[in-house]
Amino acid sequence: MQEKKTKKQNLWVKKRHARVFAFLRFAMGGFMRIKYHYKAEKAPIKEGPCLILHNHQATMDPFFVSMAFRFPVYFIASDDLFNLKVSPLIRYLAAPIPKSKSMKDLAAVKNALRVLKEGGAVGIAPEGNRTFSGRQWETVPDAIAKLVKTAKVPVVLFNLCGGYGTDPRWGHSVRRGTKFVGRVKRILYPEEYKDMSVEELYALILKEINVVDADSAERYKSRKRAEYIERALYMCPVCKKIGSYYSKGTHFTCTRCGATAEYTQQLTIEPPIGGFTKVYEWFDWERKEIAPRLLAGEVLHDEKILFIDSVKCKRKIFLDGNAVSMDKNAITVHGEKETHVFPLAEIDAIAAVGKKKFNFYYHDKIYQIKGHDRFCAVKYVHAFNGIREAQTQNTHHVPDHSSEEEQA
């Protein structure tokens, strides 16, 4: 009797989650319609176990996705969510599955499989990070296809259309759009994907959850629609200056060369700057440009930051640090009493968090840099990934001179 009781207490999926979910769906439905003009189309699937894979556009994505389902969805969430004062309450009521951003996390995989085994539904954004550009992230791990193969459950491919137009990650205000809807694009059953290779399944998943609002011709109204776009667009295509843009209202301007444009209701840049008419075009260009500049000797630098030890699933600890810089060798945090140097070679990954933060994973610790309102975190992510990629390519192409030395 005691063994049965213990086993029941250890379940991840609990009856209270269904009650909480039903209440939130009822309570949040009106709010979502009024504030975001959002509509969720009812999902045809009635119960778990299943995997719900969705694109990642807006702050409230888990709520938007959940509104389409009549059963609880256990979302995989950034470990940053578990550092809040209300985190214990969130874990009790909804039991999200914690995962480190941009890192392999076996515990998250095991917990997801555990929920599925108990008959629950697991919600995952395969990109692992909300879009800054309005288009799918350039690097999406193929681990999601491997998880699907292991789980052997129905896979619900879910599209959020209009989330980026309504609430862009870099933005400061919600826009009123002509379209913001969540719907099931397709359901894949185990018998459909069992004979697919991991590569084929991975390509299919990415294709079915790919949504680009800027190509939709929908309109999203706001008098402040360009504000804080410099959180995403950090390099000027005209003068090549980093960190020179300033936004206000519907326009943004380079403070160095004067290049100016409007961010339109159709999510376009008018007139084009450097030939770019879409945020994602500009974003892709600067992503490729920044690492070579650091490798050539340039340094990124920002002041008015907070330096935080983000202990996983616990409260944050504020450390001595008010400025951050990055060169081709290290991230350096400057404080009033000391300077902290973190060699890039010893950093496992860097991930953008929220609108103006980034985490870096160093020696089994998670450190966080939180910037001011116009701070661009993603440029550090782009620089780190680009430097790491360049170093990897150089390692793979080192010529072998051993035979030449022996002959000499």
Q: Is the pLDDT of residue 404 over 80?
A: no
Q: Is residue 9 pLDDT above 70, yes or no?
A: no
Average of per-residue pLDDT across 119-131? 94
Q: Which residues contact 379 (CB under 8 A, 6 or more apart)?
A: 234, 235, 242, 243, 286, 290, 300
Least confident of 22-26, 133-137, 277-281: 22-26
Residue 289 has pLDDT above 80, yes or no: yes
Judge whether 123 and 54 are in contact, CB under 8 Å. Answer: yes
- Residue 253: helix, strand or coil by DSSP? strand
What pLDDT shows up at residue 385? 96
* Intervals of CATH 2.30.29.30 along the chain: 299-396
Which one-letter DSSP state was computed for residue 248?
E
Task: Give 299-396's CATH code, choosing from 2.30.29.30, 3.30.200.100, 3.30.450.30, 1.10.510.10.
Answer: 2.30.29.30
Domain with CATH 3.40.1130 in the chain: 2-215
Per-residue pLDDT of 182-204, as tens digits, reads: 999 999 999 999 999 999 999 99
Provide the whole-model pTM: 0.88
- The average confidence (pLDDT) of the chain is 90
Residues composing the chain: 408
Give the whole-angstrom CA distance, residue 284 versus residue 275. 13
What CA–CA distance (Å, rounded) separates 72 from 115? Answer: 11
The two tokens of residue 356 are 């103006």
Other Cβ atoms less than 10 A from the Cβ of 146: the count is 14
- Span 293-306, average pLDDT: 98
Tokens 């941009």 appear where? 102
Cβ–Cβ under 8 Å, residues 62 and 73: yes
CATH class of 2-215: alpha beta
The answer to whether 353 and 83 have CB atoms below 8 angstroms apart is: no
Comparing 73 with 98, the larger pLDDT belongs to: 73
CA distance 192 to 382: 37
Please state, in angstroms and rounded to a whole number, the distance separating the CA atoms of residues 85 and 40: 30
396 pLDDT band (50/70/90 cuts)? low
- Give the per-residue pLDDT at 84: 67
Hey, what amino acid is at 48? G
pLDDT tens digits along 220-246: 999 999 999 999 999 999 999 999 999
